[in-house]
Amino acid sequence: MSLLERLLLTHIRAVKLDVPVAEYRFHEKRRWRFDFAYPDLLVAIEVEGGTWTNGRHTRGKGFEGDCEKYNTAALRGWTVLRFTGDMIKRGEAIKMIEEALRC
């Protein structure tokens, strides 16, 4: 688990939300996993690392693969919340997660 994922889990615990399932596999054939998921609510959380450092998620092949994964998840009814490291550090991610889970 990355430092950003651990920080996000710390925020989730601090606001007393249920702890999500880590590395949740949502597709029966593909090896796709969500960083975190609330399967009963069909809410997934993705931590997008390397945003400013040319990480996998921001390069062509990785970005395209993410699009396929997120679109497939959406077609299956999932809400996918995506957060950069800065969004997690500023507390924006936890506010959006709270909103999604309390709706």
Pairing of strands 79-84, 43-48: parallel
| Separation in Å, CA 73 to CA 24, 29, 52, 61 | 12, 13, 25, 18
Is the separation of the CB atoms in 27 and 56 below 8 Å?
Answer: no
State how far the Cα of 80 lies from the Cα of 36, in Å rounded to an integer: 10
Task: Specify the pTM.
Answer: 0.86
pLDDT, mean of residues 15-25: 97
Q: Average model confidence (pLDDT) for the chain? A: 91
The answer, yes or no, to whether residue 52 has pLDDT greater than 70, is no
Q: pLDDT band for position 1 (50/70/90)?
A: confident
| Separation in Å, CA 92 to CA 10, 14, 64, 70, 100 | 14, 14, 25, 21, 13
Structure tokens at 10: 């710390």
